[in-house]
C-alpha cells in the first residue's frame, strides 16, 4: 500500500521540512498542499515551482497530487457573486497548470459550502457550470481532476457517494474522478466501501485518517473510533492499488514530524501483511 504525506501539517515550517521528513520517515510520495507559504499557485507561477521540482528530485518523492486550497479562504467556486466565482475558477486552472508542470498525478478540488440560503437547484447548476469549464480545461492540458466529497460540517454540496455520482453524471468527462476522505462517510453513517462499489474506476485516491464520528476532525490512526484494520483489509481486497495519503491537517502542527512518524507506523500496523 503506497502512502502519501499531505504537506498541510508542515505549513508553519519551510516546505523542504515536509519533503525531508517524508523521505526520512519512509512515505512513498507527497500530496502537495497549495496554500501559503508552501505552494500557493500564484507563487509557484512567479517562480516558486522551480524549488518544488528540485525538492521532488532531491528527495526522490513523486508529487502524487496537488491540492490547492479551495474551501473558502479566499477561494470557493460555490459561493459568492459571479466575479468571485470566476476568480476561483481561474485560480483552479492556474493550479492545474502548476500541477502539470510539476508532473503531479492529479489536481484535487472540493465543492465547498454554497451558503445557507442557496437553494438546491442553484447549487447544482453552479456546480455543473464549474465542472464543465474545469473539465474542458483539464482535457485541453491533459490533467486529471479529482473532486473530493466533504463532510456536512464543511459543505452542503458534495458530501456523500450519491452526491459524487450526481456530480460525475453532470460532466461525463474522462478527466474527472473522485476520491474518499474516509472521515466523510464515517460521520454520516455511510459505509466507506460503498464508494468502491458505486464509483468503480472513477475512485482515484484515498485520504486515511481516524475520526470521532461526530466532527470533521482528522485524527491519527488509533485516536478515533474507526475500525481501520478491518477497513484496510476490505480496501486491499477490493484491488485498490493507488496511494493512501495520511491526511494530518492542522491538529498536529506543533510537531508535524513526530506525528507523521507515529501516523505512518500506526497505519502500516493496520495492514494485513503487518499482522503477526
Cα–Cα dist 188/195, whole Å: 13
Task: Tell me what pLDDT residue 129 has.
Answer: 98
Is 148 catalytic? The answer is yes
**Element spanning 68, H or E:** strand 63-68
Task: Tell me what pLDDT residue 248 has.
Answer: 87
Residue 7 cell numbers, joined: 504537506
Task: Tell me what pLDDT residue 272 has.
Answer: 76
Is 247 catalytic? The answer is yes
- Catalytic one of 17, 247, 255, 265: 247
Cα–Cα dist 86/144, whole Å: 21
pLDDT in tens, 104-116: 999 999 999 999 9
**Element spanning 244, H or E:** strand 243-246
Strand-pairing partners, residue 108, are 146
pLDDT in tens, 10-46: 999 999 999 999 999 999 999 999 999 999 999 999 9
Task: Spell out the domains of the chain, with CATH numbers in brackets.
Answer: 2-270 (3.20.20.150)
Task: Tell me what pLDDT residue 273 has.
Answer: 67
- Catalytic one of 90, 148, 255, 273: 148
Q: Which residues of the chain have pLDDT under 70?
A: 273-276
- Exposed, middle or buried, 129 (CB in 10 Å: 0-12/13-18/19+)? middle
Task: Tell me what pLDDT residue 276 has.
Answer: 42
Amino acid at each position: 500500500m503506497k502512502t502519501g504525506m499531505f504537506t498541510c501539517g508542515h505549513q508553519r515550517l519551510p516546505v523542504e521540512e515536509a519533503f525531508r521528513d517524508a523521505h526520512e520517515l519512509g512515505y512513498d510520495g507527497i500530496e502537495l498542499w497549495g496554500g501559503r507559504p508552501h505552494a500557493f499557485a500564484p507563487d509557484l507561477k512567479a517562480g516558486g515551482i522551480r524549488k518544488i521540482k528540485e525538492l521532488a528530485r532531491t528527495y526522490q518523492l513523486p508529487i502524487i497530487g496537488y491540492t490547492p486550497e479551495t474551501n473558502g479562504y479566499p477561494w470557493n467556486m460555490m459561493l459568492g457573486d459571479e466575479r468571485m466565482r470566476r476568480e476561483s475558477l481561474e485560480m483552479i486552472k492556474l493550479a492545474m497548470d502548476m500541477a502539470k508542470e510539476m508532473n503531479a498525478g492529479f489536481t484535487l478540488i472540493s465543492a465547498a459550502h454554497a451558503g445557507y440560503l442557496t437553494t438546491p437547484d442553484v447549487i447544482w447548476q453552479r456546480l455543473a457550470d464549474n465542472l464543465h469549464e474545469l473539465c474542458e480545461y483539464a482535457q485541453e492540458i491533459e490533467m486529471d481532476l479529482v473532486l473530493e466529497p466533504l463532510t456536512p460540517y464543511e459543505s452542503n454540496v458534495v458530501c456523500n457517494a450519491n452526491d459524487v455520482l450526481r456530480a460525475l453524471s453532470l460532466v461525463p468527462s474522462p478527466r474527472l474522478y473522485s476520491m474518499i476522505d474516509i472521515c466523510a462517510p464515517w460521520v454520516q453513517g455511510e459505509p466507506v466501501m460503498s464508494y468502491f462499489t458505486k464509483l468503480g474506476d472513477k475512485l482515484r485516491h484515498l485520504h486515511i485518517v481516524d475520526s470521532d464520528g461526530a466532527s470533521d476532525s482528522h485524527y491519527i490512526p488509533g485516536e478515533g473510533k474507526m475500525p481501520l484494520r478491518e477497513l484496510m483489509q476490505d480496501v486491499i481486497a477490493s484491488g485498490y492499488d493507488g496511494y493512501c495519503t495520511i491526511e494530518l491537517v492542522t491538529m498536529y502542527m506543533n510537531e508535524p514530524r513526530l506525528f507523521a512518524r507515529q501516523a505512518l507506523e500506526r497505519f502500516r500496523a493496520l495492514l494485513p501483511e503487518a499482522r503477526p
